[in-house]
Structure 1
């Protein structure tokens, strides 16, 4: 979206196009976590193993990782309304197919189609926001976006837990269908096009390399477990090699044609620091989202619904604080929020290293709320500063890169904590420790490694500027890069 914004921001109000996209994004992101509690039902109803049933979530993540790298190119080639119609239409088709799936294979196909639509929505929202919202209002509007994208994953397990208490897993899709239909209809009525589509063909080799490389990397990471390290390691290595080939091809296309994912976004120091901070913070967050339910359900004996209710206040706090964090960013800049937020993330993860069979639930609740509030303080300013350091014609590619690395970070975080936890607990059991003590120690070590990684978040937070105005020179230099690279 490279043209000047066509949707004005009047009187400090959020443009209608952003309101509609936030609502749609909330609906599609909700479905990323809505199947977590449905695994036992799927095993019984569709006669599949637990590992097979887990694919309803794994396939969603794999598809996101494979599709998101193409969205930067896609959003520059179609209008806002066309991109919205494609994303929501694909998501609707996947939801309907999942609701009536006669077999697990069809359900899996429906989830893959759903994820294809979801993959477009987040970059579309971020790109449009950066294009139509003036720099002085971006924090406030990005705070509202944070509300949607943080509350939705937190609500997924709660909603699914409640629905599964009274009905079939199919109702998780049946109930979403009319909501998605209304949101799609509303969007097609109210959305206006932002910017002008650009001409240019797509490089099919880049598409294949991106899909196989990023998809293979995420798949390999998701397969890591004790006793099965060699196979996943080979897949990760192959995925990494394909990503290297993808990067090399994009660098060549930046000189001679149209890259699928413009890697010149990485020449912005501010954007790159923001990218590292977001990826590591996302890794730490996803690691805790895996470990905490395992601890609460497997060791403390809570039901999935009880677990969801315990972690829900943290997700809601993160979402509710989003707009306030955005307004504080607009007024005081990013450092006042990001540095304390990064310290809070590290402190919360360090606190989880003290879990035991007798730790009061209020302490667990407090640590989880601290983690979510700290993430809210960091995410909104970092999103805004990172994308604000790019010229307008690279917004879609910056959003695409950020979304891709979030999926990789999620897979890496999950693989890391599960492998560390399993390795530690297995070694302790072999040494004669009882199973509960071994599992607790494994979880503590995994939380400790997440806390250690979170120190990187603090370092990146200190290095980030406070306001986007401080990176105007970076933006100006990036604006001149296309012609310079062609000459080179």
Structure 2
């Protein structure tokens, strides 16, 4: 029987904040280590007398092993207590750092790196799952914005810090520094984490793990070697990976305890959100590798100078992450995410133009808004994807998102470096080495511009998919007039009590009390649907921020001051802050049977009725209206069967 954790309770908001902070530190730690050693590859080659093809396995193998162990995290999360699991996983990072720092050979160094990769693969989804479990729903965007900021900061900041350290110390100091950071996160987790998982006894299916391992290794190895190695081997590896992936998917549908529950993929908004997140990460990883290489090879900058060129954009992106999360909480991502992609595309084109000028300062300034655009994409897209899952499927969605992060990192790095290297070599063959580097860099810029424009299209599609999670009837145009009584418009209540986007939560509650209703849609000036606010949304907010006001016994306990403070808070809070942004609706021309299915599927009492896709709200259809129609129809038919005059009913409905 599943074990339900002790609730964090409304009085433990500070505890939840501490746990989110630990999870954010874990996200930073996991992604930080993915690029922390990249700047040190040259001295490592010299120390162990290995080739560039060999030393690259410190990065490639790391990403591959991390990707393989991401799905295992969900099994362990459901089997083991949260705090001991977190401590054990971070301990792998500490152990791998020590092994790598004292490694007498390249093989031992690679072993330490793989221990770190196992810890990373388990830690990334674990931190995100903890955040989803403890973050209040009305602040989920903010929490995920912080996680996304740390995720983006990690690989970017690693380049800067490693460049600074290598100017005064050998590469082994990088391993010791990372080990020390890991130990600090371990101690913080041991002190601040509490149990948040719902434990049962899931079984780790070994064939599924083997299939997903072969699939990920095959696909990622094929991509990573496509530009540097045998094209035939790369293609063969990718084909083997795809076949294994197909076998993995088939097996998950057939076994009782799947390694990854594939139900999240039934949600189109979730799938689109994952793809948008991956495209944003491809931009980050590709540019974080290509820009330092270009500046060092073409402009003669030192590793530290090249890293510092990225620093302003990195730091501002971290600061902007929570801001983007708050904006998503208030307004959703319908405009934010495509705008972020457009900013990325426009300014990275300008960076490509500036790369031909001698001014590195102009280059760095133009890159700032380009990388800032990612903060309006990665975090909001993750939140968009996961917000369309229920509590049961959220951990599996986290596993998918975390796996996609590793895949995006490998794809972005491989494609960016591959395009850069291929075009640079082509330019060098023509006799212009600097021109070749510039051609290679602009080719990489073209790659991320293309992915950004694809992201704009996905963002528009995701917005439409979320707004049209409604049931629409596909009746033929020549439908008979008498079919009109079987449409939603026949039972729609047109006198809708609605909330305007400018009203506060307190004003909405006053309307609820006066009208005797429990919720209402939030409408824009043109009566388009912006969200839906219910008394349940308000109670959840009060429970999290004003616990004493959430109980009817507060008046007896003398908590009037707390209640007054809660009401003042609601009087300042815009209704859209607490409203559900992704609202299930039904078209006025849909059939009543489809409306019944929609209400039953999501267990709602009422849904807004709209006129056309994205059109204005024209009314509300409720379960009670459908029930009255069903009873009336039944009694009418019964009366006709018993010979009563048409229209005579046995009771008033």
Could you say whether these structures have the same fold, taking a TM-score greater than 0.5 normalized by the shorter chain as the test? yes
Aligned to 2:307: 308
* Distance change (3 Å), C-alpha of 1:2 and 1:296: farther
Q: Is the CA contact (8 Å cut-off) linking 1:389 and 1:472 kept in structure 2?
A: no
Mapped to 2, the partners of 1:251 and 1:8 lie a distance apart of 37
Task: Please give the secondary structure, in 1, of the residue aligned with 2:226.
Answer: coil
Equivalent position to 1:461, from 459, 462, 466:
459
Aligned to 1:259: 258
* Distance change (3 Å), C-alpha of 1:454 and 1:476: farther
Aligned to 1:484: none
Equivalences for residues 216-365 of structure 1 within 5 A: 216-225=218-227, 228-253=230-255, 257-365=256-364
Q: CA deviation at 1:15?
A: 2.6
Mapped to 2, the partners of 1:316 and 1:115 lie a distance apart of 26
Structure 1, gaps ≥5 residues long: 480-488
TM-score by length of 2: 0.68
* Distance change (3 Å), C-alpha of 1:146 and 1:410: closer
Task: Please give the secondary structure, in 2, of the residue aligned with 1:166.
Answer: coil
* Distance change (3 Å), C-alpha of 1:361 and 1:426: closer
Mapped to 2, the partners of 1:472 and 1:75 lie a distance apart of 31
Name the Cα RMSD after superposition.
2.5
Q: Is the CA contact (8 Å cut-off) linking 1:429 and 1:435 kept in structure 2?
A: yes
Aligned to 2:439: 441
Aligned to 1:450: 448
Aligned to 2:62: 60
Q: CA deviation at 1:186?
A: 2.7
Q: CA deviation at 1:120?
A: 1.6
Aligned to 2:415: 416
Q: Is the CA contact (8 Å cut-off) linking 1:226 and 1:419 kept in structure 2?
A: yes
Mapped to 1, the partners of 2:583 and 2:251 lie a distance apart of 29
Aligned to 1:50: 52
Q: CA deviation at 1:375?
A: 0.5
Q: Is the CA contact (8 Å cut-off) linking 2:23 and 2:131 kept in structure 1?
A: no
Query: Mean Cα displacement is larger for which, 170-179 or 242-251?
Result: 170-179
Task: Please give the secondary structure, in 2, of the residue aligned with 1:331.
Answer: helix
Q: Is the CA contact (8 Å cut-off) linking 2:92 and 2:116 kept in structure 1?
A: yes
Q: Is the CA contact (8 Å cut-off) linking 2:26 and 2:124 kept in structure 1?
A: no
Structure having the larger proportion of residues in helix: 1
Aligned to 2:37: 35
Query: Mean Cα displacement is larger for which, 260-269 or 280-289?
Result: 280-289
Q: Is the CA contact (8 Å cut-off) linking 2:93 and 2:179 kept in structure 1?
A: no
Q: Is the CA contact (8 Å cut-off) linking 2:77 and 2:197 kept in structure 1?
A: no
Equivalences for residues 111-130 of structure 1 within 5 A: 111-130=113-132
Cα deviation digits, residues 171-214 of structure 1 (max 9, x gap): 11222333322321231122110032122211100001111210
Mapped to 2, the partners of 1:101 and 1:179 lie a distance apart of 19
Aligned to 1:6: 7
Q: Is the CA contact (8 Å cut-off) linking 2:282 and 2:409 kept in structure 1?
A: yes
Mapped to 2, the partners of 1:217 and 1:135 lie a distance apart of 36
Task: Please give the secondary structure, in 2, of the residue aligned with 1:389.
Answer: coil
* Distance change (3 Å), C-alpha of 1:15 and 1:164: same
* Distance change (3 Å), C-alpha of 1:79 and 1:297: same
Aligned to 2:203: 201
Mapped to 2, the partners of 1:328 and 1:42 lie a distance apart of 44
Q: Is the CA contact (8 Å cut-off) linking 1:4 and 1:131 kept in structure 2?
A: no
Mapped to 1, the partners of 2:202 and 2:367 lie a distance apart of 47
Q: CA deviation at 1:413?
A: 2.6
Q: CA deviation at 1:297?
A: 1.0
Q: CA deviation at 1:31?
A: 1.7
Task: Please give the secondary structure, in 1, of the residue aligned with 2:203.
Answer: coil
Cα deviation digits, residues 74-103 of structure 1 (max 9, x gap): 322222113202211211211111111111
Task: Please give the secondary structure, in 1, of the residue aligned with 2:580.
Answer: helix
Mapped to 1, the partners of 2:21 and 2:345 lie a distance apart of 33
Count residues with an aligned counterpart: 475
Q: Is the CA contact (8 Å cut-off) linking 1:7 and 1:132 kept in structure 2?
A: yes
Q: Which has the larger radius of gyration?
A: 2
Q: Is the CA contact (8 Å cut-off) linking 1:81 and 1:191 kept in structure 2?
A: yes
Aligned to 2:388: 389
